[in-house]
Structure 1
Amino acid sequence: MKKLHWSLLLSFLLASCFCIFGQGMAYFLSEYAVSVAPIYYLTGLTVAGIFLYVVSGLLLLLLIKRQEKVRTHRELYAIVLFTVAPAASLWAFFVTAMWWG
């Protein structure tokens, strides 16, 4: 069960970083990695972030199904996921849409 908890936390934190700090990461990757327009990096980070939020939701459902009797931190995970994920995803989508014009 510890592996499932860590996978959930890692995917959630990575998705949050991609969605919230995607614009800065796009500029950094464009400058120091392959020299591509930052808009393509931002689009990829946004899609990856939203996908990782979906993965986090599925991992949370799996955690709830596996631990029927033990209720450690499940409610907290659900509250944080369902408040942060929509806000961060909408923010990332808005920023990406503004970049695309």
Structure 2
Amino acid sequence: MKKFYGLLIGSFLLATIFCVFGQGIAYFLSEYFIPIWPVYYLTGLTILRFLLYLLTALLIFSSFKKQDSTYKYLEPIVVLLFITAFSASLWSLFVTAMWWG
């Protein structure tokens, strides 16, 4: 049970961090790791963010499919996921599109 919530919240928070701080992370990776254009790092972070949000949604869907009553806190998490994921994803896609020109 704790592993499930840990994975759920961890993937959700990591995806949100990649959305909000993606530009700074892209500059950091370009400066201190392989020196390529930061737009490639930002694109990779955007794809990774999408996959992490998808993982979170799949975890929630699988728990609803089991209809387990012990996951009583999933309904507020679903609402939070859709509100945050939708707004952060739009912002991240906008920023990535602007970087590509």
TM-score by length of 2: 0.93
What secondary structure is seen at the aligned counterpart in 1 of 2:36? coil
Match of 1:93 in 2: 93
Q: Does residue 43 of the first structure (1) align with residue 81 of the second (2)?
A: no
Question: Structure 2 counterpart of 1:57, which letter?
Answer: A
Match of 2:17 in 1: 17
Deviations along 1:26-70, whole A, 9 cap, x unmatched? 001111111111000000001100111011000111222335323
TM-score by length of 1: 0.93
What secondary structure is seen at the aligned counterpart in 2 of 1:72? coil
2: CA distance, partners of 1:67 / 1:38: 44
Unpaired segments ≥5 residues, structure 1: none
Match of 2:72 in 1: 72
CA contact (8 A) 1:19 1:91 kept: yes
Question: Structure 2 counterpart of 1:95, which letter?
Answer: V
RMSD: 1.2
Calculate percent identity across the aligned residue pairs.
51
2: CA distance, partners of 1:93 / 1:30: 20
What secondary structure is seen at the aligned counterpart in 1 of 2:34? coil
Unpaired segments ≥5 residues, structure 2: none
Between the two proteins, the alignment pairs up a number of residues equal to 101
2: CA distance, partners of 1:57 / 1:71: 14
* Structure 1 residue 21: Cα displacement: 0.8
CA contact (8 A) 2:27 2:38 kept: yes
